[in-house]
A and B are shown apart, each in its own frame.
Chain A
Amino acid sequence: MRDGKVEGSIKNLNEQFMLLIQLFWTFFRIGPSTFGGGYAMLPIIEREVVHKKKWMQEDEIGELISLAGSAPGGVGVNAAAMIGHRQAGIMGAVSAVIGVTCPTFLIVILISVFAILFRNQPKVEAALNGMNGGIIALISMAAYRTARYSILDTTTAIAAIVTVAVLLFAGIHPLYLIISGLICGMAVIRIKNRLGLQVKMEKKSGTGSYPELEYYI
């Protein structure tokens, strides 16, 4: 693994600056190319970063993606940050993230300006109501796909069901559920190991190098 920071100090400032611009521009172009974000970006990131720019090896990117998927935040933004950091340290991470965010930010602003302009048109209202149905379908699909790699055994199934029940009936802040999920995970694994039970902690995806999530996350 190359160290971006050490390399950066050897390079002269001009080269360093050009690298930052390159990182920004590469991710600026990747940003808007995918709808639904995240995992749809990954093949494009791989093509750009591994094959065109040769910033990384092909086997490195799989590990990078699994880590990007586990950290908080969208996987696209996380992958950009990691690649940027590898190439040019913290400044590299910042410019890659700004690059990947800028185009969508501008598009969203444009959409909201139009939405506010046409808000009281009955047809627009009707279309938005219809899209609500579409969103329900997209979210259900995301739930189904996430469940396939997160529900590994009875314990995880119960955890998911309890989460839904608590959210529906108790109205507590979801943050507490996330924290208890983290703690319970560690506790359950320790207890099961103590009892000598085998626990499968990850599902290996059979097809390709990406988890089968595609563009729903």
Chain B
Amino acid sequence: MYWDLFMMFIRVGLVSFGGGYAVIPIIQHEVTEKGWLTSAEFQQTVALAGMAPGSIATNAATLIGYRTAGYIGAAVSTAGMILPSLVVIVILSALFYRIHDNSWVKSSLYGLRPVTTGLIIYAAIHFGYPTEDTGLSWVWIATLLISGVCLFLLLKYKLHPLLILTVAGAAGIILF
């Protein structure tokens, strides 16, 4: 079990270009395929991961590890998520000046970045989908309503993410 978690997050960590939100669909794909969490449980996990400081991807790894295999699960998942970055960075910084202006690197990033953007857009759409828990119901409509208001607050007043989540949580208590 620990080994499975570790290897899964090693895989995820290795392709976590763009960090954070772009990794959410990848983690979700892996976790639901293995049957560790349902779609709704996964969404709750990400909501909690957003509450803590630090990268949302690493936080999600910690939470998923903890939910599936306790403290050691949390530790191995986090380690798995971070290890590829560490190795890649050590290699990269050894080659720093040789690789920085390399045209192959630049052109691969040219193709990689829009895919990352697509992954994030997909994550947003997926979180807005009705799940098996909510269905096309009042809860689902209210959730979209909350997200619309939050997006407005983010764009207009540039509120802090933690504040946004607090507002959204309070709205949830009132509405549901």
Contact = CB atoms under 8 A, between A and B. Distances in A.
Contacts of A162: 118
A78 to B, nearest CB: 5
A151 B168 CA distance: 30
B82 A139 contact: no
B26 A134 contact: no
- Taking residues whose C-beta sits less than 8 angstroms from the other chain, chain B's interface range is 35 or more
Give chain B's interface secondary structure class: helix
Contact of A163 (B14, B82, B119, B155): B119
B123 to A, nearest CB: 5
A174 to B, nearest CB: 5
A105 B74 contact: yes
Interface of A: 1, 31-38, 63, 67-68, 70-78, 81-82, 85-86, 90, 93-94, 97, 100-101, 103-105, 107-109, 111-112, 115, 123, 125-143, 146-147, 149-152, 156-157, 159-164, 167-168, 173-175, 177-178, 180-190, 199, 201-202, 215-217
Given A112-B48, A216-B161, A167 B119 contact: yes
A108 B21 contact: no
Interface of B: 11, 13-22, 24-26, 29, 43-44, 46-59, 62-63, 66-67, 71, 74-75, 78, 81-82, 84-86, 88-90, 92-94, 96-97, 100, 103-125, 127-128, 134, 139, 142-151, 153-155, 160-162, 164-165, 167-173, 175-176
Q: Is the interface of A mostly helix, strand, loop or mixed?
A: helix
Contacts of A129: 134, 139, 143, 172, 176
Contacts of A188: 107, 110-111
